[in-house]
Structure formats: C-alpha cells, structure tokens
Amino acid sequence: MSHTYDFFKPNLSSEYPVVDGPLSITTYLSALDNAYKRYKEKSAKRAALTHGSNGMNGQCETHIPSINDFDYMVYHSPYGKLVAKSHGRLVYLLLFLTTPLLTKKIV
C-alpha cells in the first residue's frame, strides 16, 4: 500500500479537500495491481498445499488464476468510470493474459 497525498484536507477550516486527480488514479490502479499480484501468490500457495507441489521450490505447476475463482468483485468507488476501468483491467489480466488458448494467435 502506498501512502500518497492525492486527497487530503490541509486546511481544516476549508470545506473542500485538495485533490490530485491523476495521482489518485495512479494510486488506485497501483493498489489494484498489487492486490491482484498478492492474490496470485496466495492462490498458488493454497493450490500447492491442497494439490501437492511439483517438487521444485514448492510451486504448483497446474494453477492458473481464472475469472471463475470469484463469485463477486467489490471495489471502492470514488467515481463510476474508475471502477469500470478497474474491472476491465482485472478481466483482461484474468482472461487474456492467463488463459493459454486466448493468448495464442488464432490462424
């Protein structure tokens, strides 16, 4: 997690906070990417414990994250478009980068 001053209230007598929109978007997407990375790590460890490892560094050779691993996805929603883009980013990571059939060029 990154501690950034993208949305803060330096003057408590003011009604409105100071917002750095581009920094806020970058921080949000970075947190999303880190959460997905941690999910993959924890998921691989759980699969190795459940199904056994391949004998090399305790890594499970058959685990591939899938969109079907999730019943629901919950996001913090500063505004709707950021949530839609974040969900699209995760679907892209889960479907197109981890599914072997979709990553190969279809002739």
Nearest to 83 by CA among 14, 31, 46: 31
Looking up tokens 């959460």, which residue turns up?
35
- How many domains does the chain divide into? 1
Question: Is 91 part of a structural domain of the chain?
Answer: yes
Alpha helical stretches, state H, the chain: 21-51, 80-91, 100-103
Question: Is 25 part of a structural domain of the chain?
Answer: yes
Nearest to 46 by CA among 62, 60, 66, 61: 60
Tokens of 14: 């003011």
Residues of the chain above pLDDT 70, percent: 77
Question: Is 87 part of a structural domain of the chain?
Answer: yes
Question: Is 15 part of a structural domain of the chain?
Answer: yes
Q: What is the model's pLDDT at position 84? A: 92
- Fill in the amino acid letter for 66: S
Question: Is 92 part of a structural domain of the chain?
Answer: yes
In this structure, how many other beta carbons lie within 10 angstroms of the beta carbon of residue 34? 12
Question: Is 68 part of a structural domain of the chain?
Answer: yes
Nearest to 58 by CA among 45, 42, 67, 43: 45
Q: What is the model's pLDDT at position 92? A: 87
Question: Is 2 part of a structural domain of the chain?
Answer: no
d(CA 41, CA 58): 12
Residues of the chain above pLDDT 90, percent: 9
What SS3 class is residue 37? helix
pTM, to two decimals: 0.70
Q: Report, as an integer, the average pLDDT of 75-93.
A: 88
Range of the domain at 77: 7-103
Question: Is 62 part of a structural domain of the chain?
Answer: yes
